[in-house]
Amino acid sequence: MAAILCENCSGQYHYTQLNQPLEMSCMLLLIMLGKVFLDFFMLQVKQKNVKVSFMGYFCVSLALVDFTLLMSIFFIFYFEDFALWGVRFTKYHICLFTQIISLTYGILHYPVYLAAGLDYYMTIAQTSTFPKRGQRLLYVFAVVVIWISGFFCILKVPAIYEELEIQNHFSPYQCPLYASVQNYSVSCAMLLLVGMALLACRREVLTMLLSVRVASFASHPVLMFSYVSNNNGTCFKWQLLTRLLICFLGTWAPFVLLQITILFVGARIPAYVEMNVPWLYFINSFLIAVAYWCRCHDVELTEEVWSTDPFVSWKFCFMPFNNENTEPADKPGTVIVIC
């Protein structure tokens, strides 16, 4: 039986079908188990001494929602048919819950990225004078509002809710999994911006890459780049763009290549998979780099400003690196930067 699509979706979601309820349930359980492990692994390995941010709180909330979905799928899969608080749960609820989560995740990309971008643009250039407790409460409130709004939009739209009910009632052996167009458009836009920036700074990037050296700093191997220091207006922003690109791609190049591959082959990843903590931290670093570049002349050179990104160190994009244990730059009049 073919899956029924709501008329009001307007092509916002694409879907694939999974046959056989047992195989579908097992696959969803295994996928969510891997995703939850990856979410909590990223939260564990990230740097701990970073400033609080909206994106940080949203990543934690996403990991908790994923864990809740995993537990729900596990209990339904294990007990198969049971009643809880007067509600009967069967295996078709595994697909129903996953569809609701997928639809909700699919409409949250724009508001989450917009909120995170505004947060960094307003706070990244200076040390915050806002009380940290009040700032945390504000972030928690914003995260809760976004989640409630997302679930409300999905569950209270009659066409979508009725379509899910009819579909799962008459097609218990099929489970359409939706892929968000929002995330697809964000991937295209981000790759386009990175590509344009690389094209504009291709000479500077090539020069810096040719000057790369491997050195030891604080018992860790680091990459050192030589560049001519220039703090005058447009030239400074142009050099800064090159350093930001190298720092960003030096950390997230595998993700960039993965996005290029996905777009090239036209793969449609289900929305409940494509919104994950590693992806959000990838977007987070991109938003931080954009905020640094837009407000580079307002950045205060303090340690609190540098402790913004859990995975990328942006400090030496603004400050030359000076260390007595390192060799001088190859050419006079140059300084060394670590990315």
DSSP string of 234-303, one letter each residue: HHHHHHHHHHHHHHHHHHHHHHHHHHHHHHHHT----HHHHS-HHHHHHHHHHHHHHHHHHTGGG----H
Instruction: Judge whether 66 and 34 are in contact, CB under 8 Å.
Output: no
Q: Tokens at residue 199, please? A: 């094209």
Local structure of residue 319 (DSSP, 8 states): S
Q: Is the dihedral of CA 189, 179, 67, 86 positive or negative?
A: positive
Q: Among candidates 197, 201, 179, which has minimal Cα distance to 189?
A: 197
Q: What is the pLDDT along the chain (339 residues), one digit of tens a residue?
A: 333 333 344 344 444 444 444 567 788 888 899 999 999 999 998 887 788 889 999 999 999 999 999 998 888 877 776 566 666 666 777 777 888 898 899 899 999 999 999 998 888 766 555 557 888 899 999 999 999 999 988 887 665 655 555 555 545 456 666 778 888 899 999 999 999 988 888 887 787 777 766 666 556 556 666 655 554 555 567 777 888 888 888 889 899 999 999 888 888 888 889 899 999 999 999 999 898 888 777 766 665 556 778 888 777 666 554 444 444 444 433 444 444
Q: Distance (Å, rounded) from C-alpha 331 to C-alpha 229?
A: 12
Q: In this predicted structure, what is the pLDDT of residue 277? A: 94
The answer to whether the beta carbons of residues 154 and 250 sit under 8 Å apart is no
Query: What pLDDT, on a 0 to 100 scale, did the predictor assign at position 292?
Result: 84
Give residues with Cβ within 8 angstroms of 236, minimum separation 6. 230, 296
Its pTM stands at 0.80
pLDDT of res. 296:
73
119 contacts 112 by C-beta, under 8 angstroms: no
- The strand ranges marked E within the chain are 13-16, 82-84, 87-89, 177-180, 213-217, 220-228, 334-338
Name which of 315, 286, 285 is nearest 300 in CA terms.
315
- Nearest-angstrom CA–CA distance, 52 and 247: 21
Instruction: Look at the chain and count its residues.
Output: 339
User: In terms of Cα–Cα distance, which of 105, 96, 107, 103 is closest to 175?
Assistant: 96
Q: Can you tell me the distance from the alpha carbon of 36 to that of 42, in angstroms, rounded to the nearest whole number?
A: 10
Specify whether the CB–CB gap between 223 and 250 falls below 8 A: yes
Which residues are paired to 143 by β-bridges? none
